[in-house]
Amino acid sequence: MSDLNWDSGGKDLLDTLRALVTELRAPRVSIDDELWTFDDIAQYLKLSQYTVERRVVVQPGFPEAFQPCAIGKGSKAVKRWFAGEVIRWARQNRAKRPLARSPRNAA
């Protein structure tokens, strides 16, 4: 195996693998502490972002959002939710979640 020709391509691969190992060893944020946006919630629930914004997060009992960059009342900062709270809510309310819209038929 010592007669392998390590050209620049082999060195690039080795550098890439080292970077990947370093990234995998890095500490991870727990799913409970991860912050989700409307889009993240939509992907998790397999709903459109529109449905999440207008029919999901407004339901009574849905976890409270917070705006980390909000300054004062009426701020337009992006709302975020703790992923763990959203997941728990989804499991407890699975029968109450809005259904995805059916695809429109071409006329």
The predicted-structure confidence for 20-45, as pLDDT tens digits, reads as follows 998 888 878 888 999 999 999 999 99
Inside any domain, residue 18: no
Is 52 or 78 the better-scoring residue by pLDDT? 52
Inside any domain, residue 1: no
Inside any domain, residue 102: no
Inside any domain, residue 50: yes
Inside any domain, residue 72: yes
Q: What percent of the chain has pLDDT over 70?
A: 75
User: What's the CA gap between 13 and 15, in Å, rounded?
Assistant: 5
Inside any domain, residue 28: no
Is 72 or 4 the better-scoring residue by pLDDT? 72
Per the CB < 8 A criterion, the answer to whether 32 and 76 are in contact is no
Structural domain that includes position 45: 35-92
pLDDT of amino acid 101: 64
Residue 3 has pLDDT above 50, yes or no: no
Inside any domain, residue 62: yes
Mean pLDDT of 13-17: 91
